Amino acid sequence: MKVEIQSKNLIKPSFGTPSILRRYKISFIDEFAPTTYVPLVLFIPSSNGDVSCSIAKLRKSLEKTLTLMYPLAGRYIEDIREVDCNDQGVEFIQSQVDITIEEILHLKENPKVINEFLPLKIWSTFEATNPLLAIQVTIFRCGGLALGVNMSHKIGDAATLTTFLTQWATFSRRETKVEVVANSIFPVSGLFPSRGLSPFEIHFANSESNDDYVTIKLSFNGYAISKMRAKATLGGKINTHHMSKGQLVSALLWKAFIGVDYAIYGHPKCSALVQPIDLRHGTISLIPKNAFGNLWGLIVTSCDTIKEFAELTTLLTDNFKETTNEYLKVGHDNHEMKKVILNSFSHYTNIPNSTEIIWSTSWCKFPFYGVNFGFEKPLWISFGFGTFKRSIILLDDEGGDGVEAYVNLGVKHVPYFEQDEDIKAFASGKQRTKL
């Protein structure tokens, strides 16, 4: 497979951003966000139309989208924690590849292949002078498209990316006029003003270190999820019907990580599973679901012994319920909410150095498969090949009932990880990709 870049341009908003909207202040949650780009690739089959017309439609509709979501076309100023909404533009790359989209679906168990369709190296470090958004449209030999997106985590999360893609797709489907307005999608920075805080230090793998790392892609279909739910029931002690499939898979993979440490060290090590939680639906007074920016807290669940899958599921479920209840007690527009969010971050920063940290991020239920640019809906979406030392990233599968998990871990840990009885029982599609 050879991806050939044909052009690189900066796409600017169709209308200039008014001077009154020139400065966009980030929130303190934005300050905490990792200094990386959030990646995603959508694989869209051929619609039997003119590909050049499709590209032109994407460019024109992107200009309209940037008029509404104008901070994306600006540049971040670190010293004053603001985005200069100067309409400098987002990077737009057009490329082509010498295979069909059907062939890439046969390669989808290899996460590293997916990186070829992203405009930036996955989890590239964000620099203040860089574009906040980069897009790569790759044309397959059959006329299908791969739409790769990298959005700076400094100004948005997965929900923000969803809002952007949905709005872009809407403008692509319809010939709609657009006006520059200070609308309701930018409440976050006002609700949670910046405090001069430092971003999280995420544990990235170092490609120059002695230990190599791999990304393993595991698939859990709908049948496997139902069997996992039944196993987690613990004789009726917990109600698994209200438990998300993401929580089930996170518990199962966490158990495997705990088993790795036991196999290597001969005794269980304390570990902590860290999970971001979207706050757009988690307070008394709901924040708009299309609110722009980072809007999440953290749930930290710790374990210092060897536990079975059902026990870890109960532990996660109880902690998740307790934490979300704390958010539900307060409104989004008062001091108590700020305190609850800051406390959730302190739970992470106060984790002892001796504790093994596993990040588990779930993008399940985000409607990426429903994004419709007026062509065909995506056949498949992917995260690509990551570089975390220990992490879990979850996405819906194309059927909607299952989960695709991207698991990052040390190469020497893989044999122990794959020997976990529940991994062998429920997971399929084990494919390693070396860092």
350 within domain boundaries: yes
pLDDT tier, 208 (very low <50, low <70, confident <90, very high otherwise): very low
Judgement on whether residues 277 and 418 belong to the same structural domain of the protein: yes
Decide the pairing of beta strands 296-303 and 90-97: unpaired
> Which residue has better confidence, 321 or 189?
321
Q: Which of 159, 191, 223 is the last residue of a domain?
A: 191
**What is the band of 47 on the pLDDT scale with cuts at 50, 70, 90?**
confident
The β-bridge relationship of strands 133-139 and 90-97 is parallel
Q: In this structure, is residue 201 part of a structural domain?
A: no
Whether residues 233 and 327 share a domain: the answer is yes
Report if residue 24 sits inside a domain. Answer: yes
Domain boundary among 191, 223, 238: 191
Q: Is residue 73 part of a domain?
A: yes
Domain that holds residue 419: 213-364+385-434
Taking only the tens place, the pLDDT of each residue in 81-123 is 899 999 999 999 999 999 999 998 887 767 678 889 999 876 5
Query: With 50 as the cut, is the pLDDT of residue 204 above it?
Result: no
Q: What is the CATH number of the domain that holds 61?
A: 3.30.559.10
Residues 178 and 229 in one domain: no
- 279 with 175, same domain? no
Indicate the pLDDT class of residue 5, thresholds 50, 70 and 90: very high
Over residues 170-199, the pLDDT tens digits come to: 999 987 777 655 555 676 777 788 887 777
Which pLDDT does position 261 carry in this prediction? Answer: 93
- Both 223 and 155 in one domain: the answer is no
Residues 183 and 284 in one domain: no
Same domain (yes/no): 424, 313: yes
Q: How far is CA 164 from CA 108, 150, 167, 329, in A?
A: 25, 12, 5, 30
Q: How confident is the model at residue 332 (pLDDT cuts 50, 70, 90)?
A: low
| Total domains, the chain | 2
Are residues 159 and 241 both part of a single domain? no
Query: Does 144 share its domain with 23?
Result: yes
Percent of the chain clearing pLDDT 90 (strictly above): 52
Q: Answer yes or no: is 253 within a domain.
A: yes
What's the average model confidence in pLDDT over 221-225? 95
Give tens-digit pLDDT for 377-432.
999 999 877 666 789 999 999 889 999 999 999 889 999 999 999 999 999 866 55
Do the domain assignments include residue 58? yes
The answer to whether 252 and 228 are in contact (CB under 8 A) is yes
- 124 occurs within a structural domain: yes
Q: What's the pLDDT tens digit per position in 415-429?
A: 999 999 999 999 986
- Give the Cα separation of 250 and 241 in Å (integer): 16
Q: Report pLDDT digits (tens) over 292-303.
A: 999 898 999 999
Summarize the confidence of residues 66-72 as an average pLDDT: 94
Residue 323 has a pLDDT of 86
Nearest CA among 37, 3, 204 for reference residue 135: 37
- CB 274, CB 359: distance < 8 Å: yes
Q: Are residues 185 and 230 in the same domain?
A: no
**Structural domain ending residue among the three candidates 160, 191, 222:** 191
Same domain, yes or no: 267 and 305? yes
Is residue 376 domain-resident? no
Residue 36: pLDDT band with limits 50, 70, 90: confident
45 shares its domain with 149: yes
